Structure 1
Amino acid sequence: MNLRRDVFQAIADPTRRAILLLVASQSLTAGAIASNFDTARPTVSKHLQILTECELLEQEQNGREIYYHINAKKMKEVADFIE
């Protein structure tokens, strides 16, 4: 089942906003992102899934690792809408 996620519900969560700030400057793996939080890795993975479904984050596979990076185009769309 493919759920449609709302971008504004996604960014309403403080943890997801923190994740966006982390990956805004550099691509990181899920493990590197999770190491910045005091929550369980599966919880961070769920946040990453939601942000990816909203197209705020993009995934790029490099060998065995998956790196997450910000989708600047989508973030600009959100910023333009808010203005």
Structure 2
Amino acid sequence: MDYLQELGVTTIYFNPIFDSPSNHKYDGRDYRQVDDNLAVVGDLSASNELFEQFAAAVEARGMNLILDGVPNHSSSDSPF
């Protein structure tokens, strides 16, 4: 993140990061969980914790974080 700050970046934008069976993650299975393929494979809880640490580090630098998500597009195996 040092490099991004040096470039003058003030906001980090992520495409969907939520638990999803697809590569694009726009068909979320569970919008309460970070997809473990993006963080700690096989451990949704650890993936969530890692993301929370990342978000805190972004905030500590005075930067913004935007998460893309489309809650009306959910996976066919979603509880929602």
In the superposition, the TM-score normalised over structure 2's length comes to 0.28
Which structure has the highest helix share of the two? 1
Larger of the two Rg values belongs to structure: 2
